[in-house]
């Protein structure tokens, strides 16, 4: 494992809700872990955020909504977007679907680890912003949604 791969693992750990990553490759094992405050550990890995302006992209947390009241569901990490649990299965959500808190809306794969992305609040999915198999960045909007609260 070279330095760039190690840096990528650190970025994944920092950007995700994971507290530990362990990789074994060619007889070498790397284990990274972090301690989170108990309030953070209880929070869902994914946040539904207000649609960010260019300066706020990837900022995380609850942001301002657009004039039309839409919010985004953003990627919690760098990885690959998958709309369904396995190839050939229907997507977790489609435009027009209502989602509940902690409902899985997609998967983001990072370093061969499948990370479920969940909704933080009840909402109606308005639009899927990325295609199945697309690479995504930390904080990149994946869906627009209309909150139900």
Residue 50's DSSP bridge partners are 71
94 CB-near residues (< 8 Å, 6+ apart):
125, 128
The pLDDT, as a whole number, for residue 114 is: 92
Question: How far, in Å, CA of 97 to CA of 126, rounded?
Answer: 8
Domain holding 120, by residue range, is: 44-147
How many Cβ atoms from other residues are within 10 Å of residue 120's Cβ? 20
Q: Look at residue 37 and tell me whether its pLDDT is greater than 60.
A: no
Query: And the tokens for 13?
Result: 């750990």
CATH code of the domain containing 83: 2.40.50.100
Q: Are 125 and 119 contacting, i.e. CB atoms less than 8 angstroms apart?
A: no
| Beta-sheet pairing, 71-74 with 79-82 | unpaired
Question: How far, in Å, CA of 118 to CA of 47, rounded?
Answer: 8
The pLDDT, as a whole number, for residue 36 is: 47
Query: And the tokens for 17?
Result: 């809700």
Number of domains in the chain: 1
Q: Is residue 6 part of a domain?
A: no
Question: How far, in Å, CA of 120 to CA of 123, rounded?
Answer: 9
Average pLDDT over residues 84-105: 95
Q: Is residue 19 part of a domain?
A: no
Q: Look at residue 35 and tell me whether its pLDDT is greater than 90.
A: no
Q: How many percent of the chain have pLDDT more than 90?
A: 50
The pLDDT, as a whole number, for residue 38 is: 39
Question: How far, in Å, CA of 127 to CA of 145, rounded?
Answer: 7
* pTM of the shown model: 0.59
Q: Is residue 27 part of a domain?
A: no
Q: Is residue 32 part of a domain?
A: no
Kindly indicate the confidence band of residue 31, based on its pLDDT and cuts at 50, 70 and 90: confident
Q: Is residue 123 part of a domain?
A: yes
Kindly indicate the confidence band of residue 39, based on its pLDDT and cuts at 50, 70 and 90: very low
Q: Is residue 69 part of a domain?
A: yes
Q: Is residue 107 part of a domain?
A: yes
Kindly indicate the confidence band of residue 44, based on its pLDDT and cuts at 50, 70 and 90: very low
Q: Is residue 3 part of a domain?
A: no
pLDDT in tens, 60-76: 333 435 558 899 999 99
Task: Tell me the DSSP string of 11-71.
Answer: HHHHHSS-SEEEEEETTEEEEEE----HHHHTS-S--EEEPP-GGGTT--SS-PPPTT--E
């Amino acid at each position: 494992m070279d330095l760039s791969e190690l840096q990528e693992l650190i970025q994944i750990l920092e950007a995700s809700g994971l507290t530990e990553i362990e990789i074994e490759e060619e007889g070498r094992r790397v284990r990274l872990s972090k301690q989170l405050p108990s309030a953070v550990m209880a929070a869902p890995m994914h946040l539904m955020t207000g649609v960010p302006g260019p300066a706020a992209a990837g900022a995380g947390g609850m942001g301002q909504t657009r004039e039309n009241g839409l919010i985004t569901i953003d990627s919690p990490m760098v990885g690959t977007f998958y709309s369904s649990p396995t190839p050939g299965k229907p997507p977790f959500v489609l435009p027009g679907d209502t989602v509940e808190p902690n409902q899985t809306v997609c998967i983001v794969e990072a370093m061969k680890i499948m990370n479920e992305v969940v909704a933080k609040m009840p909402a109606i999915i308005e639009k899927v912003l990325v295609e199945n198999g697309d690479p995504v960045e930390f904080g990149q909007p994946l869906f627009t949604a209309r909150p139900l609260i």
